[in-house]
Structures are given as structure tokens and as C-alpha cells.
Amino acid sequence: MTDSRFLLVGLGNPGREYHLSRHNIGFFFLDHLAGLQGLLIETQKMQGLYCHGRAHGHQLYFLKPQTYMNRSGESVRSFVDYFKIPLCNLLILHDDIDLSAGRIKLVAKGGAGGHNGVRSVAQHLGTTEFARLKIGVGRPVVDEVGQGQPVDQFVLGRMGDAEMSLFEQRKTLVAEAVAVFIQEGVDRCMNRINGR
């Protein structure tokens, strides 16, 4: 890849009440990725918290939009424009209820699939042509008559100990996926990561 600037975005909601909620899994993994480089995502700029450093031979920007999920695209668009990030070097990390908990899937483009954060990013960028690392959180359990916790309450709910343990185990795979995305591109990353 010719341009050496990459923007890694974790989606979530700001505020203590959303800390470690399923909907904030993007924040969870982005903090880990930055931590691997000895970085903390704590500088405020353009409606987000960010940091930057070098890894895998490239300049990396780590962004956590602070606008609430349904307006995430405002901050993402500002960063893309300001730092001149090619869209092929943008990766959005977010939760996905249609994937079983702990499953990791990279996609090169596509619709929002009901995810308000992804929808906002697509609206503000004017395209769905950007890579996403989907992190499965599963769906709420339903009883024998089909009743269960509403999806919005489920994704905004705090993860349990078993879920936390599962996502701790997936940190290595997510870090590998990001490294392959940066070094080898989205297609090779999909081939290497999806299905594992």
C-alpha cells in the first residue's frame, strides 16, 4: 500500500454507564491495540479521543468517537479529512449481534446491517466502501415461548464474566487481523482471519 497512514476506529458510547457494554466492544479492542504500542487513547480532538504512533512500518491513528454511537460518522469524517486517510486504510471495529459471541469477521465493504454507528460512518463518508472488523456479541437468550431481553437493552448491557473471558482470549486474533490488514491488505486479511 502506497500511503502509510491508517485510521483504526473503535465504535462505542462515551460515559461510565456504557463501559464494558457489548455495544462498546470496539472501544475495548481498540484500547488493547493501542496498548500493544504503549499508547493511551486520551487526546481530545474533533469529537473524539485519539492517539497515534508507528507500528508495522506505518503511521497509525487510533480513534474512539465521543459523539454517541448514532453520530460516530461526524468524528470519523473529520479525522479522515484532517489526516488525509485513504478510505482503503480505514478500519472500523464494532459489535455485531448476528455473529456468535467471540466470532471475528472482516468485511471489505457493505451495508450497516442495522448498526447505527456503521450507518452514521457511511452517511458521513458518503460511501460503504470501507473495511470493518465485526466482533460477534451474539443475541439475547430467548425462552421456550420466544421471549427475551430486547436487543437494544442487550447490546447496552454490561458483559458478564464469561463474555469478558472470551473476549480477552480473542485479543490475539484481533491484533493479528489488524496487523495483516495493515501489512497485506483487506483481501488477504479476510482469507486469513474469517472462519477462525
Read off the pLDDT of residues 68-118 as tens digits, 9 standing for 90 and up.
Answer: 999 999 999 999 999 999 999 999 999 999 999 999 999 999 888 889 999
Strands 5-10 and 90-96: parallel
144 pLDDT higher than 80: no
Q: Provide the strand spans (E) within 26-138.
A: 43-45, 48-55, 58-65, 90-96, 104-107, 131-136
Tally of structural domains, the chain: 1
23 as an active site residue: the answer is yes
Q: Is residue 3 very low, low, confident or very high in pLDDT (cuts 50, 70, 90)?
A: low
Choosing from 19, 23, 32, 58, which is the catalytic residue? Answer: 23
Give me the pLDDT at residue 161, please. 95
The CATH number of the domain holding residue 135 is: 3.40.50.1470
50 annotated as a binding-site residue = no
pTM value is: 0.94
1 pLDDT higher than 50: no
Task: Provide the residue range defining the domain that includes 122.
Answer: 5-193
24 annotated as a binding-site residue = no
191 annotated as a binding-site residue = no
